Chain A
Amino acid sequence: GQQLNQSPQSMFIQEGEDVSMNCTSSSIFNTWLWYKQEPGEGPVLLIALYKAGELTSNGRLTAQFGITRKDSFLNISASIPSDVGIYFCAGPAGTALIFGKGTTLSVSS
């Protein structure tokens, strides 16, 4: 079946650093989504991408829809302690979403 491969699995960074993570698939997707999950909560949608090559920002977050339609990237600039959490990529599978395994981000101040 379809699978989304996220990397890195985890990151430990200093406050103020920039972060980059990515998600790849063996299948083509028409939509890429990035979610963030904070401890004890459900995932929350950060950015949705609908077009190959699209670059979309949400504050300090920027995500790109790869031109091959098989990958997507999420960048966080000038990280702060509240960026801590698990970041998931997701893509449509029928009427549902499939999720990557997540990138766990830790930020030290």
Chain B
Amino acid sequence: NAGVTQTPKFRILKIGQSMTLQCTQDMNHNYMYWYRQDPGMGLKLIYYSVGAGITDKGEVPNGYNVSRSTTEDFPLRLELAAPSQTSVYFCASVRTGHGYTFGSGTRLTVV
């Protein structure tokens, strides 16, 4: 099993550009999450989804959008990149409970 796959691994964006961070899981998990990790700050929840067609905001949703058209995919969209969005982004999934499986992350720099 591939688990949770995130692409790209690294990206540099210019201020104002847009991009989509991809996340795919092959474990048929219902729940999927996007977190961002800043140095020394732990992981902050951006958006989450409890199933296809259902999404909800987390702690830090401003500047981001998500969609969940299939069980497998949960892309995160940045519409107008800002330097404050420089971070490492992690996608995670779980069938039930709290034993999340995380992807290996996307390191994004906005310049």
Taking Cβ atoms with an 8 Å cutoff, the residues of A that contact B are 1, 4, 9, 31, 33, 40-45, 48, 88, 90, 92-93, 95-102
Contacts and interface: CB of A to CB of B under 8 A. Distances in A.
Contacts of A102: 40, 42
B58 A40 contact: no
* A-side interface mostly: strand
Nearest to B90: A42
Contacts, number: 53
Contact of A90 (B4, B48, B98): B98
Interface of B: 4, 31, 33, 35, 40-43, 45, 48, 50, 58-59, 90, 92, 98-100, 102-105
Contacts of B41: 101
A99 B100 contact: no
B98 A48 contact: yes
13 contacts: A4-B42, A41-B105, A42-B92, A42-B102, A42-B104, A43-B43, A43-B100, A43-B102, A45-B99, A90-B98, A96-B33, A97-B100, A99-B42
A54 B30 CA distance: 29
Contact of A95 (B31, B40, B92): B31
A43 B105 CA distance: 10
B42 A95 contact: no
A92 B97 CA distance: 9
A96 B48 contact: yes
A68 B99 CA distance: 23
